[in-house]
């Protein structure tokens, strides 16, 4: 999959086996956030761009028992040497075998997330290669300014998004507040926060 200019090229009609929900559930169950058989309700999703055009990077916002959960997944054409974070394999009807990772363990995702914070970037749009349609991102980012480059390298996904403080000036520098939905279903939450220095 080639990705560039903050547009992720996708195959919207591709057949996936198992599908994305399988891996979303697996992630949430491993994190102790849901039990097998519970309802998992999609809310929104957002993507980042791999400059090399090899790794698909997507974060799904779902709800379980009324609580929002973020599921960060990385889709790779080949396995990483380190098996930590590997959730399994997916058969993609166009791209073949994809190796699905908890994106928090994926170096390409970590680098892209740090860059999004550092540069104040919005999530990627999607281009359906089947139809040519450009699909705008479902989530809008607001990035709290004032973060130095070193801190940006340890930006962390909030698996359990938090209620944002009032006003972006009150947010910790490097925080990403995401907004999605329309009308009375519009929601905002802290999706990314600066991690601890190591």
Residue 190 lies in a domain: yes
Residue-wise pLDDT for 33-56, tens only, equals 999 999 999 999 999 999 888 999
pTM above 0.85, yes or no: yes
Number of domains making up the chain: 1
Residue 76 lies in a domain: yes
Residue 1 lies in a domain: no
Residue 77 lies in a domain: yes
Helix (H), strand (E) counts: the chain: 3, 14
Cα 13 to Cα 61: distance, rounded to the nearest angstrom: 21
Residue 2 lies in a domain: no
Residue-wise pLDDT for 155-197, tens only, equals 899 999 998 877 666 678 888 999 999 988 899 999 998 875 4
* Structural domain for 153, as ranges: 7-194
Residue 84 lies in a domain: yes
| Contact by Cβ (8 Å): 193, 161 | no
Cα 24 to Cα 186: distance, rounded to the nearest angstrom: 22
């Amino acid at each position: 999959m080639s990705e560039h200019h903050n547009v992720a090229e996708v195959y919207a009609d591709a057949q996936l086996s198992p599908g994305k929900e399988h891996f979303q559930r697996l992630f949430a169950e491993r994190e102790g956030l849901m039990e097998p058989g519970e309802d998992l309700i999609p809310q929104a999703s957002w993507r980042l761009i791999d400059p090399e055009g090899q790794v698909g990077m997507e974060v799904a916002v779902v709800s379980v028992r009324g609580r929002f959960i973020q599921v960060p997944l990385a889709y790779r054409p080949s396995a990483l040497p380190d098996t930590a974070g590997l959730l399994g394999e997916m058969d993609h009807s166009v791209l073949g075998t994809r190796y699905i990772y908890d994106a928090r363990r994926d170096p390409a995702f970590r680098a892209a997330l740090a860059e999004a914070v550092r540069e104040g970037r919005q999530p990627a749009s999607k281009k359906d290669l089947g139809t040519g349609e450009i699909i705008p991102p479902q989530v809008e980012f607001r990035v709290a300014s004032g973060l130095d480059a070193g801190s940006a390298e340890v930006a962390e996904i909030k698996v359990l998004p938090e209620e944002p403080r009032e006003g972006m000036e009150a947010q910790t520098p490097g925080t990403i507040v995401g907004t999605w939905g329309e009308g009375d279903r519009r929601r905002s939450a802290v999706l990314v926060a600066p991690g601890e220095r190591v």
